Amino acid sequence: MNANILAALFQDSLQQVLDNRVFRLLVIMTICMVAPTFLIGFHQDHISMLWMWEYSYSELTATLGVPVPPDVRPDEMLIKGIQTVVIEGIAGVAGIIFCIAATAFFVPRMLEKGAADTLFSKPISRTALLVMRYFSGLLFVTVLSFALVGGMWTGFALVSGYTDTGFLWSAVTLVYLYALLHSFSVLVGTVTRSSVAAILLVLMMFMFSGCVHRGWVFKEYAQESYALEVLRIEMREEGSGELREEEEEDSTLLNFLTVLLDTLHYTLPKTGDATTITGMLREAVEGTGPALNDTEASVVFEDHPEGMTLIGSSTPDFDEPVTWVPRDPDADARQRVFLKRRGREPEEAPAPGERVRRLVASRVASAFEDGLDERADRGELLSGPSKERAMFGPNQLIAVRWEEGSESDGLHRSRFFFHFSEWLYEIDLTVPHAMMGDEAYEEWEDDFFRGLSIGTEQFRGPMQWYEDEFGWDAPWKFNAFFSIGTSLAFALFCLLLSIFRLNRYDF
């Protein structure tokens, strides 16, 4: 196939898009969704409309009766809300359905008696013609997606001064989602030669695959919750040497449904993962994810200590202490934050007949304070130590504070203790006096710990649990690359079946 034929096929694909009335309608709808981002500005303390009228957020909240938390930027919250509604709701569902309906006739029209005789008499293979019809649909959606996402991004950047580079990935995700569904549409159109059948069956597959995905997530969540509960029971009873053995009734029907659900989930395209993948890409580009996430115990630090950066992964294995260092290379290198995690089982085995006492934050903090008291008696500390229960939002930690060094070059020192589930955590903070006074150090400390969430899996639903498990380096069934690979394999399989069927038509 030479360059002239390829150019002609591309021109044909472009003409298929431009001559489509639904495409023109969707262009108008895209302009209607992009225009408000240029006409309405979301600023740090007010909203402007048509560059003339301004309304403060306090006025709006008083009118609507919806308070804005003091630690939330209302402009950023509103812009992200609009982006979510437009991309995940309007474009990600309704827009994709409109695009499927608009492009479903591409293949059936090609297979109509008169059109097929004309097309297939040309020196172009049927495979090339079908593939170009598929790419005509991709071109259709690519133009609309990048116009929508790029237009909104530009509007928010110019008028509101808000730039979110990760948001641009939404356009790629919309094309990816459509590519999966369009491959099935091409298959149905090739087999049935009916655009109505293609539309109906694709919509049914879209909804069915979403239901299968949700059902599979609920199944995995239930199995994980059951396994954790059995593990907790066994660990509680391990000290007395009595392990509870629960009888499991073998249910043939339940096993069959589980296998069927797994088979459908791994076979069908993972359309429900598109939004999750977009969020992961945005986090990778913008760094919008948590500063540190202990996925094993669901302990999360939303933000880094101010002026500091994390060494290593944001999802550590805790083989070594997690370390934050100053972001500025010229800053005092003694400023450090260390986070350690260890099991709560005692390091020394209990005496025969003695009850096993698991480590708790208060006892470990008291032992640590005793060691500091000995240092204070030897004159090694400037002040302290002092132990107290520190509240940061809903979290209560045991804090031990002291100061060491010399009068002219002292150090603020703090160590915080807390335990959750099977783990005990210790967080050590060191800041030179020259960098922060007492009041500034307390504010710095408070800002860091207010971003701490402990034990959030107790409040997670199945879908939130799945999003936390899903990742680029997660186990294969929660792996993003596996999800994308199997979904693209489904699309390729549909296209190969379409080519196989088309080449056996006799016109």
Q: What is the pLDDT of residue 244?
A: 43
> What is the rounded distance in angstroms from the CA atom of residue 263 to the CA atom of residue 284?
31
Residue-by-residue pLDDT tens, the chain, 507 positions: 566 666 666 676 667 666 777 778 888 888 988 999 999 888 877 888 887 788 777 766 666 665 655 556 777 788 888 888 888 778 878 888 888 888 888 888 777 765 655 555 566 788 888 888 888 888 888 888 999 999 999 999 998 888 878 788 888 888 999 999 999 999 999 999 888 999 999 999 999 998 999 999 988 888 776 655 544 454 444 444 443 444 444 567 778 888 899 999 999 999 888 888 877 777 666 655 678 888 777 788 888 899 999 998 888 888 889 999 999 888 998 999 999 999 888 777 666 666 667 888 999 999 999 999 999 999 999 998 999 998 887 788 999 999 999 888 999 999 999 998 888 999 999 999 999 999 999 999 998 998 888 875 445 578 877 887 788 878 888 888 999 999 999 999 999 999 999 888 776
pLDDT of residue 351: 64
Give dist(CA 40, CA 160) in Å, integer. 8
Q: Which helix (H) or strand (E) holds 173?
A: helix 169-192
Two tokens, residue 60: 């709006």
Q: What pLDDT does residue 396 have?
A: 86
Q: In terms of Cα–Cα distance, which of 424, 294, 426 is closest to 357? A: 424
Q: Peptide bond preceding 385: is omega within 30 degrees of 0, i.e. cis?
A: yes
Q: In the numeric block, which tokens belong to residue 53? A: 């009228």
Domains present along the chain, CATH in parentheses? 3-212+477-502 (no CATH), 299-346+357-454 (3.40.1000.10)
Would you say 219 and 265 are in contact if contact means Cβ atoms under 8 Å apart? Answer: no
Name the nearest CA neighbour of 299 among 446, 474, 458, 464: 458
Please report the sign of the dihedral spanned by the C-alpha atoms of residue 196, residue 197, residue 200, residue 205: negative
- At 231 the pLDDT is 46
Q: How far is CA 378 from CA 42, 375, 401, 433, in A?
A: 59, 5, 17, 22
DSSP string, 179-197: HHHHHHHHHHHHHH--HHH
Q: Where are the alpha helices (DSSP H) in 40-161?
A: 57-64, 74-84, 96-103, 106-110, 113-119, 126-155
pLDDT, residue 119, reads 57
Tokens standing for residue 384: 């302290």
pTM of this structure: 0.68
Strands 410-420 vs 452-454: parallel, antiparallel or unpaired: unpaired
d(CA 226, CA 297) in angstroms, rounded, equals 16
pLDDT at residue 504 in the model: 85
Instruction: Report the pLDDT value the prediction gives residue 132, as an integer from 0 to 100.
Output: 84
Give yes or no for a contact between 46 and 129, defined as CB atoms under 8 angstroms apart: no
User: How distant, in Å, are the alpha carbons of 136, 258, 428, 466 from that of 324?
Assistant: 50, 44, 10, 29
Looking at residue 484, what is its pLDDT? 92
Q: Which residues pair with 308 in a beta bridge?
A: 326
Q: What is the pLDDT of residue 238?
A: 43
Q: Strand, helix or coil at 438? A: helix
